[in-house]
Amino acid sequence: MHELAAVSGATGFIGSAVVRRLLADGRRVRALIEPHANTQNLDDLPAERLERVTVDVCDLAGMRRALEGVSAFYHLAAIYKTWLKDPSTIYRVNIEGTTTSLLAARDAGVGRVIYTSSIAAVGRRDDGLPSDESVAWNLYDVANDYILTKHLSERIALRFAEAGMPIVVVNPAFPFGPRDIAPTPTGGIIISVLRGELPGIGDGGFCAIDVDDVAAGHVAAETKGRIGERYILGDHNVTFEEFIALVAEVAGLKTPKLRIPRLLGQGVALGMELWSDLVTKTEPMATLKSVKYLQGKPWFDVTKARRELGLASTPLRESVKRAVDYFRANNMV
């Protein structure tokens, strides 16, 4: 298969992994790069089948040009932050950027669109069991700007699908692994353990998945996914205690012994958030809503993606080792 695939958000953690997977499969790729984006994750890739186009996802004319001749469009461009000095930016990119990109894909006659949503757009069950794709969004009490914008932008994508556009939605969980240069929240946990900066272990957990498994799930969704459906790309449902202990073990370090009670964790997060709002104007280590979301253990049932997409499962220890080795080799700890 040599058809041209376009990837927005191509310099990002997941986006660059999707680019690599497409190239490995023999595809030609057009990487859509936001102005002033850090291209480090693409710079080691061969240029023969990789075309780079600088474009703002909110520029309709620019996106139309960028998607000319494209058979598949992977829309990953989004801001993944739990706090921003100017929250309007996340609404512009995540909502306006999605609408503009999908309009451009429609106008360009793209044959298949894979829209990257998030598990933040999936609700939680009342009984506490892992959620699947059928659980409607109900995260009103913990919805920070990121969670809210991903929910709203997914609704936009599904409305395009209802109107006849060939869109498949994927909902990645918490990815981690090599090339996490930002880093992501999951990568941030690993780095904190490696630096010895983690004061203790809080209550809660999350659904972890190797970034390369997420990328493979995206590519599988192009040919195997059903139009108008969403697929959760997750893997390991773990508590913070389990994950941090594994990171420490793999890294040859001691596991933090202090356990942080639920209310204390919320109080500390609120203090960090207020300090950022009023003093530093920089992203805090945690925010109240993000802590409350994670304390609720956002775990997921990925049966649908395994069955329909053939979603792979890299052993958790192997993925942790790859991440630890990367952070150490790149002087991030």
- What CA–CA distance (Å, rounded) separates 327 from 311? 26
Q: Provide mean pLDDT across the span 254-267.
A: 93
Q: In which element (H, E) is residue 72 found? A: strand 72-75
**Number of Cβ within a 10 Å radius of residue 209:** 30
| Pairing between β-strand 201-202 and β-strand 205-210 as defined by DSSP bridges | unpaired
**Number of Cβ within a 10 Å radius of residue 143:** 17
pLDDT at 139: 97
pLDDT at 283: 86
Q: Is 60 left (phi over 0), alpha (psi -120 to 50) or beta?
A: alpha
Q: Any bridge partners for residue 176, and if so which?
A: 210
- 230: helix, coil or strand? strand
Q: In which element (H, E) is residue 90 found? A: helix 88-91
pLDDT at 85: 87
Q: 152-166, 282-296, 305-319: which range is least confident on average?
A: 282-296
Identify the structural domains of the chain with CATH numbers, from first to last: 4-177+209-235+299-315 (3.40.50.720)
Residue 110's closest CA among 15, 34, 10, 5?
5
pLDDT at 11: 98
- What CA–CA distance (Å, rounded) separates 156 from 162? 10
Residue 272's closest CA among 290, 254, 258?
290
Identify the band that residue 244 occupies on the pLDDT scale cut at 50, 70 and 90. very high
Asked if 211 and 179 count as a contact pair (C-beta separation under 8 A), the reply is: yes
Instruction: Please state, rounded to an integer, the average pLDDT across all residues of the chain.
Output: 96
- What CA–CA distance (Å, rounded) separates 210 from 201? 22
- What CA–CA distance (Å, rounded) separates 311 from 302? 8
Inform me whether the pLDDT recorded for 305 exceeds 90.
Answer: yes
Asked if 119 and 185 count as a contact pair (C-beta separation under 8 A), the reply is: no
pLDDT at 2: 67
Q: Which two tokens stand for residue 232?
A: 């959760």
Inform me whether the pLDDT recorded for 1 exceeds 90.
Answer: no
Q: Report residue 232: phi and psi, to 5°.
A: -80, 125
- Give the tens place of pLDDT for each residue, 178-235: 999 999 989 999 999 999 998 899 999 999 999 999 999 999 999 999 999 999 999 9
Q: Provide mean pLDDT across the span 288-313.
A: 97
List, in sequence order, the alpha helices (H) in the chain.
13-24, 60-66, 88-91, 97-108, 145-162, 185-195, 211-224, 240-251, 262-275, 288-295, 303-309, 316-329
Residue 20's closest CA among 174, 208, 315, 219?
219
Q: Provide mean pLDDT across the span 3-11.
A: 97
* Strand runs labelled E in 145-204: 167-172, 174-176, 201-202
- What CA–CA distance (Å, rounded) separates 294 from 206? 6
- What CA–CA distance (Å, rounded) separates 254 from 246? 10
